[in-house]
Amino acid sequence: MLFNSYEFLFLFLPIAVGGYFFLGNREKTSEWANIWLVGLSLFFYSYWDIKYLPLLLLSIGFNYVISGYIIRYRKEKQKKNAKTMFLLGIIFNAGLLGFFKYTDFFLENLNYLGAQFPLLHIILPLGISFFTITQMVYLVDCYEGVAKERNLIHYALFVSFFPHLLAGPILYHRPMMKQFKDATLRRVDWDNMGRGLSLFIIGLAKKVLIADSFVTVVAKGFAHPEQLTLVDSWTVAICYMMQLYFDFSGYSDMAVGIARMMNINIPINFDAPYRAYGIINFWQRWHMSLTTTITNYLYTPMVMVCKKITFGKAMAATFASMFIAGIWHGAGWTYIIFGSLHGLGLVLNHTWKKYHLWMWKPLGYVLTLGLVLVAFVFFRAESVTDALQVLYAMVGGNGVLLPPAVATFMNGNFDTNLMALSEYDVPRKTLVVLLLVVFCPSSNNIIKKLQPNYKWAVVLAALFSYGIASLSQMTEFLYFQF
C-alpha cells in the first residue's frame, strides 16, 4: 500500500489514527492502541504481497529472542556468551539481507569471471534494508548496554511501525520505547494533529505534484543514454536529482507527519540538502537518519579499533563507511561507485578543512552539487556503461542539441530530431523547481513556524485537492526498491 493511493488516504490512514485514539483514550484499553498499530502495520506490509509477511515476522521474532539473551548475559556478566549471541544476530540479519539483495549480483560477477551459475531472480522484499538495519542497530545497543527494555508489543511496533517501515527514517530503540510506554501520548493533541497533517499534505504534494512530473523525462533519458546530447543529458541528470529529492523527502515528510498526528516523534530526514556548501554539510542535511547510523555504527567503531587515531586512519574509516553505505543502497557496481564518490568527496572536504584552505562559498556550493549530480547519475543508471554514456554526453561527447524553440530562433541551423526532451516543457519546469529548492524554507521549518489559521487551511485544502487530482498516474516511491 502506498501513501499516495486512494485506499491509504481515505481508508487506512483515517482508520489507523481513529482507532489508535479511540483505544488509547480509555485507561483499560490504552495498551491496545499499540497492539492496534502493530496489527495495522503488519496488514500494511502484507498489502503489497502477503507471502513476505512471514519473513518480517521471522526477523522480528528472531531478533527479539536474541536481544533477550544478550541483555540477560550482560546482566549476568557472561561477556563471552553475550558476544556469541550478538554475533549470531548480526550474521542472521546480514545473511537475510545478503541472500535477498546480493545473491544475483554475486552470481553475475562469478559468471563474468567464467562461471555458469543460473541467476535466481530473487524479488527484493519491500523495506528489507530498513527493517534489517533498524534491528542490527538495536542489537548493537543491547550489546553496548544502551537498550534494556523488554516488551514484545513495543518491540514489534518499533520495527514494523507503518510510517517508517518501507523507506525509513531509521529509528532508534530507546526514544521510541519511551513514547510507546507513555499512555498520555495516546490522546488527541490537536496541535500535533494539525502540524502532522500539514506536513503529510506537503509531503504528498512533493511526491505527486513535483517528483512524479519528472518521471517521464528521467525514464526516457536513462533508457536511451546513447541518444543524449549536451542539453538533454544535463536536463535528464538535473531532473533525476530533483525527482529523487522530492520523492524521498516527500515520503519522509509524510512518514514524520503521520507519526506526529499520533503524537509520536520520529527523526527528521531532510533539511534542504541542495543548499549544502560542502559534501560534509550535504550529509548533515540528506537522509539524516542514515548519516547518524553511519557515524555511530560504522565510522566510530572503525576509528575506536585503532590504538592511535590519526587523520589518515579517520579518513580511511570515512571512505570505508561510505563504501559500505553504497553497497547497502543496492546490489550493483553503480551503487558501489555512488558510495565511493561520496567517500572521496568527504575525504577531500575534511582534508580541505584540516589545512584551513580557503574556498569561495558559491564555488563550494557548485562543486558540492556537481559531485552529488555525478554520483546520482550512477545511482539511477541501470549499469556503469549507461552512467558513463550520460556523463560523456554531459561533457559534449555526443554534440550539442538545442531545444526546438531555440534552434528555430537560430534559423534552424541545429539538428533537433533526437531526444528533444524539451517537448515535455522540462526546462521551464526544472527552473521553477530549482527556484523552490533555493529560496523556499524546508518543509520542517515551515511546520515549526506554522501559525494555523483559515488562510493556511485554504492552502492545505488546495494542495491536497490538487494532489488527489494527480493520483490517476500513481507511482511507487523510489526508495522502496532499496
From the number of C-beta atoms within 10 Å of its C-beta (0-12, 13-18, 19+), residue 303 rates as: middle
Cell of 408: 528555430
Residue 290: C-alpha distances to residues 19, 297, 298, 424 (Å) = 31, 10, 11, 34
287 is catalytic: no
CA angle 368-372-377, nearest 5°? 150
Averaged pLDDT score across all residues of the chain: 87
Among the listed residues 154, 329, 350, 356, the single catalytic one is 329
pLDDT tens digits, 123-173? 888 889 989 999 999 999 999 988 888 899 999 999 999 999 888 799 998
Mean pLDDT of 309-314: 92
| 71-123 residue pLDDT tens | 999 999 899 999 999 999 999 999 999 999 999 899 988 988 888 888 888 88
Q: Among 326, 409, 335, 340, which residue's Cα sits nearest to residue 371?
A: 340
C-alpha cell at 23: 483505544
What pTM was computed for the model?
Answer: 0.89
- pLDDT tens across 386-434, in order? 999 999 999 988 777 665 555 554 444 444 334 445 444 555 566 666 6
Please check whether residue 345 is in contact with residue 371, taking contact to mean a CB–CB distance below 8 angstroms.
yes
Question: Which distant-in-sequence residues (6+ apart) come within 8 Å of 362 by Cβ?
Answer: none
334 near 376, Cβ under 8 Å? no
- Whether residue 334 contacts residue 381, with contact meaning beta carbons closer than 8 Å, is answered with yes
Report whether pLDDT(351) > 70: yes
Contact 41, 157 (CB under 8 A): yes
